[in-house]
Amino acid sequence: MKPEIIRTVSPLHIGQFMFVRIETESGITGYGEAGIWGHIEAAATVIARFAEYLVGKRAFDIEHHWNVMHRFSYFQGMAINAGISAIDIALWDIKGKALGVPIYELLGGACRTKARVYGHIYDSTIEKVLEECRRKMDMGFTAFGHINPFLDEGVDKVYFKTHIKKMEDAIENVKKMRAVVGDKVDLLVELHRRLTPAEAITFCNGIKDTCPMLVEDPIRPENADAMARVADRIAVPIGTGERFSTIYEFQALLSRNALEYARVDVAVCGGITGARKVAAMAEAHHVQVVPHNPLSPIGLAACLQVAAAIPNFAIQEYSTGFEAGVFETTATHLGSDIVDYVPLPKDGFVDIPSGPGLGVNLVNNAQEIRPALVQPIKMRPHRDGFVVDQ
């Protein structure tokens, strides 16, 4: 067949999302998404820069392009790798569309046709969190994530609690969640890197009787040795990796037995190509994959294509909230109004898109529906004048 040659590579800043649209000379369009939502304009600059290299090249040479973009000039990092991720996803989308198959068929075929999902729950009071637990149970979800026992209070509210109060309140909140959902729902407890190793050990051991599926990012993820130290001293599994932009960061934690669930972000860690590499490493360590996606249905579709093709997939994040960067829970997937298809949960699972490529496309007027939005730089203050991770 005639090779698909890349004609244009265009970043698209739509609402709180950064996409790339890649078009070939034969008229095939592929879409990808960059996951660096906090520094979204930086990803656009990276995409435009790599367009200089990609235009005129064969779209099917995905692994080759992935290596060129990663190895060029020796520099990597979150913004660069988020741009690479978006481009990689779009190239897989083009290849699937050109060959008339979903991406998972190009990755070895489907291991599964459905993916279990967990919905987001967040609020500023435990009473509202428990109310949302009941609502989402009625919607059929069998797992809740982004469910924060320290609560999602506003960044304008000054924070301070004694150590014992901080620990006891959060531990009691998890017990209240478990009492409401019983054994019908798995809890993926979100800590959002807000604890020190000492606090993480105390908290995690305090909730072991509630049997959480995992505790996500109990501490800041940069130090693999520190995460391993926590993992060695707690009785609940750790999920981490959503902020990792290279496969090597995952390797560092896997080699230290520092996680049981790899939270690979397909839109940050090298796209579908990068996620497959992480999944293979995790499989060798008997670690399961829980793809991270606080993004649009384009990002969700990329995750689901990977989930279909790997044996060690566990569950998929399904973003019900975070509109305009605000922690408010919704009933529908974030960004549902700018795509032509959204997989809908039924009994806790979604069907994996089986159309060509990703199986999900941006609608033509997406930029009109959601004007460009940039998240302001702001952190919650501590009473002592410093800042609080949350």
Average pLDDT over residues 53-59: 98
Q: How far apart are CA 42 and CA 80, in angstroms?
A: 8
Q: SS3 of 387, please? A: strand
pLDDT band for position 390 (50/70/90)? Answer: confident
- Give me the pLDDT at residue 269, please: 97
Q: What is the CATH number of the domain that holds 16?
A: 3.30.390.10
Domain boundary among 69, 101, 133: 101
Same domain, 281 and 180: yes
pLDDT band for position 76 (50/70/90)? Answer: confident
Q: Which of 185, 20, 187 is nearest to 87 (CA)?
A: 20
Same domain, 85 and 109: no
Same domain, 184 and 312: yes
Q: How far apart are CA 23 and CA 94, in angstroms?
A: 8
Say if residue 326's pLDDT is above 90: no
Residue-wise pLDDT tens digits, 224-272: 999 999 999 999 999 999 999 999 999 999 999 999 999 999 999 999 9
Close Cβ partners of 179 (under 8 Å, ≥ 6 residues apart): none
Side chain identity, residue 192: H
Same domain, 18 and 162: no
Pair of tokens at residue 271:
């796209």
Does residue 188 fall inside a structural domain? Answer: yes
C-alpha separations of 207 from 54, 152, 174, 177, 310 in Å: 50, 19, 7, 11, 31
Q: How is residue 280 annotated by DSSP?
A: H
Residues forming a β-bridge with 381: 387
| Residue 16 CA, distance from chain mean position | 15
C-alpha separations of 276 from 232, 279, 325 in Å: 27, 5, 28
Contact criterion met (CB below 8 Å) for 87 and 32: yes
Taking the model in full, what pTM does it have? Answer: 0.97
Strands (E), 183-248: 186-190, 214-216, 238-240
Q: How far apart are CA 5 and CA 24, in angstroms?
A: 5
Contact criterion met (CB below 8 Å) for 318 and 292: no
Same domain, 210 and 86: no
Q: What is the CATH number of the domain that holds 115?
A: 3.20.20.120
Instruction: Identify the residue with better confidence: 326 or 40.
Output: 40
| Cross-sheet strand order for the sheet of 29-34 | 6-14, 17-24, 29-34
Query: Max CA-CA distance within the chain?
Result: 67
Domain count, the chain: 2
Same domain, 91 and 117: no
Does residue 111 fall inside a structural domain? Answer: yes
Q: How far apart are CA 320 and CA 381, in angstroms?
A: 27
Whole-number mean pLDDT of the chain? 96
Residue-wise pLDDT tens digits, 126-144: 999 999 999 999 999 999 9
C-alpha separations of 289 from 33, 180, 239 in Å: 20, 27, 9
| Residue 147 CA, distance from chain mean position | 15
* Domain membership of residue 202 as a residue range: 105-356
- Give me the pLDDT at residue 294, please: 94
Same domain, 44 and 144: no
pLDDT band for position 80 (50/70/90)? Answer: very high
Same domain, 86 and 169: no
Backbone angles phi, psi at 269, to 5 degrees: -95, 40
Q: SS3 of 252, please? A: helix
Q: Which of 203, 193, 186, 201 is nearest to 145 (CA)?
A: 186
Residue-wise pLDDT tens digits, 153-177: 888 899 999 999 999 999 999 999 9
Does residue 311 fall inside a structural domain? Answer: yes
